[in-house]
Amino acid sequence: MAKYSIFSLVLNSLTRHRHWRPAWRKAEPRPEYDVVVVGGGGHGLATAYYLAKEHGITDVAVLEKGWIGSGNVGRNTTLVRSNYMLDQTVPFYESSLKRWEGLSHELNYNVMFSSRGVLNLAHAPSQLDVFTRRANSMMLNGVDAEMLDTDGVTRLVPNLDTSPGARFPVVGGLLQRRGGTARHDAVAWGYARAADRQGVDIVENCEIEGFLREGDRITGVVTRRGEIRARKVAVAVAGSTSQVMALAGIEKLPIESHVLQAFVSEGLKPALDTVVTFGAGHLYISQSDKGGLVFGGDLDGYNSYAQRGNLPVVEDVVSAAVAMFPCFSRVRLLRHWGGLMDMSMDGQPIITKGPLDGLYLNCGWCYEGFKATPASGWTFAWTIARDEPHALNAPFRLDRFRNGYALDEKGRGPYPGHH
């Protein structure tokens, strides 16, 4: 497969772009693989890529129910950051952010990673104290963090209403300059293409409907396109985790599926060059390279497997956006959609060997899964290849919920919908 470069671009332009090859092969499933990865989202594709690249395991198939990019990897609001607080979470997300910084070169695919900064607004002195604590924890873990006062926020985001008369006056904020955005579906396509180049089979329209077992050991999967045996089966199906794991007889997991919506406005001239999150409610907003404002807020608030949301949340999220940026009040909303979120009991993921022999599980991503894609794939591949966790994902084991080692960053308790 040709390397993307200025030369291939010029060469193809001379032949009117008629000779570009597909980014990945349309592979037919074979009856047996070393590793089958279920789910062709960001995490499944990254896992397959790192299995091949880092561990030399190339006899791998990624089985995707729909098409590549049809799940959350192509539905999210694209925020990437590592502004966490716990000693277990900061190193994991920071390792992901470091991978983002070199990802376009590594994959030879422009994932449009943009370090435009992520600013969390504080609207009360007590909230500023909480952010200062988080900034200190980040810096103790070697991660960049800056505290801004109101003037600093105004200079950074002039279109934000920081006047004393604002609906929610701004007293300052926590800024991580290295955070930002990436183009979500380019990430799926980039990992798919890079995994394919390593020999991985990417099989679309191949839903798994059951597991092959010998006693308590998983030995393969049953798909719409026949049975496939595998030494190891890795499940990375995000919001469908409970349904897929039920096929393996695992009826109870500490996660729930919820709908989260994303919103895009009509295109505007450049008006917002950082990511801003609202501190008085739940809203995060940025402006895409095409000019649309991309924003999101809270979950729809009930368990669901639907990939569409409801109007009251539209009103709630849009009113928060207008409270922050009154200058956007006449902007028209262009599109909105829903994604299926795998919300865990403490807001952090599960990346683990088990819970059955031959089976490996990656799930529970809540709002954090897109930014985690590189680290999730890298550590999951390590766990699958070596049958033990890497130090980065060792805290994210399944039995932490039984043993009481919850990683509750926000202190919100065992309520998946609240993380």
Ligand X SMILES: Cc1cc2nc3c(=O)[nH]c(=O)nc-3n(C[C@H](O)[C@H](O)[C@H](O)COP(=O)(O)OP(=O)(O)OC[C@H]3O[C@@H](n4cnc5c(N)ncnc54)[C@H](O)[C@@H]3O)c2cc1C
| Residue 341 touches ligand X, criterion: CB under 6 A | yes
| Residue 97 touches ligand X, criterion: CB under 6 A | no
Least CB distance from residue 127 to ligand X, whole Å?
21
Cα separation, 349 vs 376, whole angstroms: 9
Asked if 398 and 361 touch (Cβ cutoff 8 Å), the reply is: yes
Nearer to ligand X, 73 or 398 (CB): 73
User: What contacts 130, CB < 8 A, 6 or more positions away?
Assistant: 122
Nearer to ligand X, 167 or 308 (CB): 308
- Report the alpha-carbon angle 218-58-189, nearest 5: 100
| Residue 96 touches ligand X, criterion: CB under 6 A | no
| Residue 204 touches ligand X, criterion: CB under 6 A | no
Q: Work out which of 107, 171, 200, 208 binds ligand X, going by CB under 6 A.
A: 208
Q: Work out which of 100, 113, 365, 401 binds ligand X, going by CB under 6 A.
A: 365
Least CB distance from residue 317 to ligand X, whole Å?
11
Nearer to ligand X, 158 or 226 (CB): 226
| Residue 369 touches ligand X, criterion: CB under 6 A | yes
Site string for ligand X, 146-185 (x = CB under 6 A): ----------------------------------------
| Residue 116 touches ligand X, criterion: CB under 6 A | no
Asked if 399 and 254 touch (Cβ cutoff 8 Å), the reply is: no
* Axis-axis angle for helices 42-55, 184-197 (nearest 10): 30
Q: Work out which of 36, 238, 384, 407 binds ligand X, going by CB under 6 A.
A: 238
Phi, psi of 220 (to 5 degrees): 160, -170
Asked if 184 and 76 touch (Cβ cutoff 8 Å), the reply is: yes
Query: Using the 8-state DSSP alphabet, how is residue 367 labeled?
Result: G
> Which one of the spans 51-59, 85-93, 313-321, 360-368 is the region binding ligand X (CB under 6 A)?
360-368
DSSP letters of 98-154? HHHHHHHHHHTS----B---EEEEE-SHHHHHHHHHHHHHHHHTT---EEEEHHHHH
| Residue 374 touches ligand X, criterion: CB under 6 A | no
